[in-house]
Amino acid sequence: MARAVTAGVGQLQERRLDRYVIWIVLFLCGFGVVAVYSAITYLATTKGAGDTEMFLFRHVLKMALALGAIVVVSMIDYRAIGRISKLLLVGALALLVIVELLGVSSGGATRWLDLGRFGFQPSDLARVALLVYVAVMLARKQEYIKSFRRAFVPIFLWIIATVVLIGMEDLSTAALVLLTTVVMCFVGRVNILHLGGLGIVAGALAVLLLLSSPNRAARVESFLGIKIFEHTNTEEVFDAQSEGFQAEQARIAFALGGFTGVGPGRSTQRDFLPAPYNDFIFAIIAEEYGLVGAFFLMALFVAILFRGMLRIARRAQDPFGLFLAVGLTTMLVLYGFIHAGVSCGLFPVTGLPMPFVSYGGSNMVASGIMIGLLLSISRHSNDAA
């Protein structure tokens, strides 16, 4: 009898999903639908003959794909995905190379693969695959995790390769991926001196990537308000309609929103901000819902941080689950906070979307996969903290 009860409890635990994370994602999706519908007017006017419903339908369809990814991935044992993580990462890196050769250019960067009626960013697949594989390696190498040759080098060869391939066209995503993996390695007890050395290497790589791209360097100079690099165009850096213009219009949106906002659908800055439905969706939310709406939205990401770190990661069934939960949570929350920071003028314009809120396809599906993995870890978690 006792064994039967114990077995029944074990089965219930394996089916247990973190319902708070599910509700948080649904709230974010709801915010996204309303905000995107309000901000999509300019895109619909320029590319869809004013048909805002068509773009809203596309957004809802992509959101449905993301929610479907959450359901499917949460039903799969995360350890099964870990067993094929190296294969997934190798495939993602191959796609990044293909993008460099055959990719579609948009906004001055080649990030997309053309799949007919749909576009796909392999960097979204690569960052998820890298998190899974790094978590696998950290778990396998715990007995000698302080070793430079046996642990640090094998792990960071994959990290550097992925970061460099992503950073060739998307420095902001590459920096975020590197920061996330460093957090994972810190939790995984990797030697602090080794991580410090990695920081120096990362800084050198960032400078090289800036030197190789005048557009990327000009964006940094525009944010700082000073001329640093010789290969950038001074007129472009200090152009009133360039990066500084975007940041200024986002700050105006915050000022117009005040404490309670101007009301849903009444944004005026959506007509001035470039890509208000994606890169600056947080500014539109702050204008229409004020400081109250902006704080509520950020509170949802803080809630993901607490549930991911203090609930799912701490109760993970094995070290692999713990490290993976830390990485997934860190990346999701960093995306949300950096997007908000760009809208507030705290960071240079990066183009990072806000998970489940911004208009987008491959990024939203990637976010759905990450939430699905988190739920899979919680489904197999131990009952004791």
Split at pLDDT 50, 70, 90, the class of 11 is very low
DSSP state of 352: P
SS (H, E, C) 162-194: HHHHHHCCCHHHHHHHHHHHHHHHHHCCCCHHH
222, 238 Cβ separation under 8 angstroms: yes
Q: Which of 39-48, 259-268, 290-299, 300-309 has the lowest mean pLDDT?
A: 39-48
Task: List the domain boundaries for the chain.
Answer: 18-75+236-385, 81-212
Q: What pLDDT does residue 13 have?
A: 43
38, 276 Cβ separation under 8 angstroms: no
Question: Across residues 348-371, what is the average pLDDT?
Answer: 88
Q: What pLDDT does residue 40 have?
A: 81
Q: What pLDDT does residue 248 have?
A: 80
Question: Across residues 301-323, what is the average pLDDT?
Answer: 93
How far apart CA 350 and CA 220 sit, in angstroms, is 10
Split at pLDDT 50, 70, 90, the class of 296 is very high
Q: What is the dihedral of CA 278, 283, 285, 287, to 10 degrees?
A: -140
Structure tokens at 337: 């906070």
Q: Which residue blocks in the chain are alpha helix, DSSP H? A: 2-14, 19-39, 41-47, 52-74, 78-83, 85-102, 122-140, 153-167, 171-187, 192-212, 214-224, 234-237, 243-257, 281-306, 319-344, 362-379
246, 271 Cβ separation under 8 angstroms: no
Q: What pLDDT does residue 5 have?
A: 35
What confidence tens digit (pLDDT) does each residue in 209-233 have?
777 777 777 777 676 667 676 666 6
**Percent above pLDDT 70 for the chain:** 82
277, 269 Cβ separation under 8 angstroms: no
For residue 237, pLDDT beyond 70: no
Structure tokens at 23: 């509700």
Structure tokens at 75: 């039903």
Question: Across residues 181-205, what is the average pLDDT?
Answer: 87
Q: Output 319 or 119, whichever has higher pLDDT.
A: 319
What confidence tens digit (pLDDT) does each residue in 47-84 have?
555 567 777 888 889 899 999 999 999 999 999 999 99
What confidence tens digit (pLDDT) does each residue in 321-347 have?
999 999 999 999 999 999 999 888 788
What confidence tens digit (pLDDT) does each residue in 94-127 have?
988 888 777 666 555 556 666 656 667 888 899 9
Q: What pLDDT does residue 10 have?
A: 44
